[in-house]
């Protein structure tokens, strides 16, 4: 395996990087780099590990020609241009479970601090005052906690809140009521959650759809005296609207661990309010979490380079090591079928249809489909791979249709059948696995029954089914120094049209192809190269 170099640009836990070093990878860690200095450092690396400080922009990705995977030691990937990474075929991984408990606990710490006015009481006492009556708090028991977003962290927060005997009402359009009924969580529309909450906490990713999800309209629906907590991402809560709601007395207090701009400016209006508790993005800042997310992303990156397993990816289907072992023969076969199809067609591709049958119909077909498209489109873009194949297909207006066909084992001859439509026509190529599932072969081309190994140098001819064609083709190849290793012939009916697939020891040059095409019975002769 070639030398793999990983660059770590943020303060990632050192012991968490050990899986990469143990695998023999070169790991370089330099933090605080910006601009050209960062681009130069990442330029010769295969992997990049970041936290939230490094901004992985399209420009940085452009400079990182070798980069194959980015690992985010944490959950949020809003500091990474995922679309640009996908376009360039770079896998983006995160560690979604690594800091779940830590962030949930920090949310609860701020919840309690707000309810019992802990920071202000602490500051008052340390200033020499004893003001017990000034800092009367409120109990959590019997209060309603509104949770916006019921992902991993949101659910843990809701569970712990139930331990305080709080009622929990939540908004999450992607969660079915029956999935949270046993957890005693009530689902409701966002406006109802805002209206009923005594405490409101936000736990969604930051996307264009969720930016400002708690804004002026939501604050207007809240009951006076509500408390707001954000330990997820800056920008989810509209900071100007929050400031206004506090000043007018509708919001009694807020606890913020994240800000739209980090670090926030010293004159940030919210930092000047006594009703606001602020911490410097400490949600994931525990020893356990920092080591945990580093280990998770390091192990994911190690396995990606060593075995091809994809785990924790936000822009590619997850494929574990065991699943990859089962899929590997199909991935190889699909990629070869795609490359074979690409060399049958001279016109722009308009559509792709892939049918999975038999055992293949019971597998997760998404990685196999991507593998076929990566083979088909590899000559259209220098960066095409399984990560960006669907994106490139969409950009080029290529429709992709996937179907499944179930039947008895004896009825299924081709587990993978592909059809590629171009402007002037279409081609179908099917394939199957033989032996110990590792022997992949082409079994049909455009309706001709052919059994050929999709590898090496190949010649595909269509000709009239008349005597002397096979001999003449062999003679032409021999005259040009091309040795035949295998010869496969298929025909639909006697005396009609025949197809031959020749496996050769060396590539065919244009002179050889031209002589073949000039032989009267030959309708077409096409060179196929599958390294």
Q: Do residues 288 and 97 lie in contact, with contact meaning Cβ atoms separated by under 8 Å?
A: no
Spot the catalytic one: 68, 167, 203, 233.
Answer: 233
Spot the catalytic one: 116, 281, 427, 526.
Answer: 281
Burial 94-132 (b: 16+ CB within 10 A, else e): bbbebbbbbbbbbbbbbbebbbbbbbbbeebeeeeeeee
CB atoms within 10 A of CB 410: 7
CA quadruple 121, 122, 125, 128: dihedral sign: negative
Q: Which residues contact 310 (CB under 8 A, 6 or more apart)?
A: 91, 93, 304, 316, 317, 318, 319
Q: Do residues 360 and 414 lie in contact, with contact meaning Cβ atoms separated by under 8 Å?
A: no
Give the C-alpha separation, 31 to 281, whole Å. Answer: 18
Report DSSP letters for 236-302, one per residue. SB-HHHHHHHHHTTSEEEEEES--SSSSPPTT-GGGG-TTEEE-SS-TT-SHHHHHHHHHHHHHHHH
Spot the catalytic one: 37, 40, 262, 411.
Answer: 262
Give the C-alpha separation, 470 to 447, whole Å. Answer: 20
* Tokens coding 343: 């060399």
Give the C-alpha separation, 333 to 369, whole Å. Answer: 11
**Residue that the structure tokens 């079915």 belong to:** 176
Residue 281 appears among annotated catalytic residues: yes
Give the C-alpha separation, 244 to 28, whole Å. Answer: 46
Nearest to 317 by CA among 370, 374, 382, 394: 370
**Residue that the structure tokens 């990937």 belong to:** 77
Counting beta carbons within 10 angstroms of the beta carbon of residue 470, is it exposed (0 to 12), middle (13 to 18) or buried (19 or more)? Answer: middle
Q: Do residues 454 and 501 lie in contact, with contact meaning Cβ atoms separated by under 8 Å?
A: no
Nearest to 42 by CA among 12, 15, 69: 69
Burial 484-505 (b: 16+ CB within 10 A, else e): eeebbbbbeeeeebbbbbbbbe
How many Cα atoms within 13 Å fall on the side-chain side of residue 321?
9
Q: Do residues 49 and 41 lie in contact, with contact meaning Cβ atoms separated by under 8 Å?
A: no
The residues annotated with a catalytic role in the active site are: 233, 262, 281
């Amino acid at each position: 395996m070639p030398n793999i170099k990983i660059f770590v640009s943020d303060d990632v836990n050192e012991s968490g990087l050990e899986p990469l070093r143990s695998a023999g990878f070169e790991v370089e860690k330099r933090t605080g780099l910006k601009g050209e200095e960062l681009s130069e450092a990442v330029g010769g690396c295969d992997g990049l590990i970041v936290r939230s400080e490094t901004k992985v922009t399209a420009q940085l990705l452009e400079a990182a020609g070798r980069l194959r995977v980015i690992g985010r030691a944490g959950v949020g990937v809003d500091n990474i241009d995922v679309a640009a990474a996908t376009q360039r075929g770079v896998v983006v991984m995160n560690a979604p479970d690594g800091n779940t408990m830590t962030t949930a606990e920090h949310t609860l710490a701020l919840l309690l601090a707000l309810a019992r006015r802990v920071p202000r009481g602490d500051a008052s006492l340390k200033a020499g005052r004893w003001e017990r009556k000034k800092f009367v708090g409120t109990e959590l028991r019997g209060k309603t906690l509104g949770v916006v977003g019921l992902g991993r962290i949101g659910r843990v927060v809701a569970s712990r809140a139930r331990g305080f005997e709080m009622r929990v009402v939540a908004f999450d359009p992607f969660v079915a009521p029956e999935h949270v009924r046993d957890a005693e969580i009530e689902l409701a529309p966002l406006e109802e959650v805002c209206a009923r909450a005594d405490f409101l906490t936000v736990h969604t990713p930051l996307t264009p759809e969720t930016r400002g999800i708690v804004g002026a309209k939501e604050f207007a629906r809240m009951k006076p005296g509500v408390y707001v907590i954000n330990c997820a991402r800056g920008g989810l809560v509209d900071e100007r609207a929050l400031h206004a709601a506090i000043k007018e007395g509708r919001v009694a207090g807020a606890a913020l661990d994240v800000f739209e701009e980090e670090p926030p400016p010293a004159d940030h209006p919210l930092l000047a309010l006594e009703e606001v508790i602020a911490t410097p993005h400490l949600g994931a800042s525990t020893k356990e979490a920092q080591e945990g997310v580093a280990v998770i992303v390091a192990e994911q990156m190690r396995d990606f380079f060593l075995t091809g397993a994809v785990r924790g990816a936000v822009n590619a289907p997850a494929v574990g090591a065991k699943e990859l072992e089962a899929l590997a023969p199909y991935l190889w076969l699909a990629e070869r079928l795609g490359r074979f199809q690409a060399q049958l067609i001279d016109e722009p591709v308009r559509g792709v249809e892939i049918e999975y049958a038999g055992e293949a119909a019971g597998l997760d077909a998404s990685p196999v489909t991507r593998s076929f498209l990566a083979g088909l489109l590899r000559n259209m873009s220098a960066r095409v791979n399984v990560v960006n194949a669907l994106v490139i297909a969409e950009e080029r207006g290529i429709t992709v249709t996937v179907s499944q066909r179930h039947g008895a084992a004896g009825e299924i001859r081709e587990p993978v059948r592909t059809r590629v439509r171009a402007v002037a026509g279409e081609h179908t190529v099917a394939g199957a696995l033989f032996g110990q599932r590792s022997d992949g072969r082409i079994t049909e081309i455009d309706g001709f029954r052919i059994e050929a190994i999709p590898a090496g140098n190949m010649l595909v001819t269509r000709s009239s089914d008349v005597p002397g064609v096979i001999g003449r083709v062999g003679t032409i190849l021999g005259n040009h120094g091309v040795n035949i290793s295998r010869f496969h012939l298929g025909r639909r009916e006697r005396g009609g049209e025949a197809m031959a697939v020749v496996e050769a020891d060396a590539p065919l040059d244009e002179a050889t192809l031209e002589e073949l095409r000039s032989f009267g019975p030959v309708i077409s002769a096409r060179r196929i190269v599958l390294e």
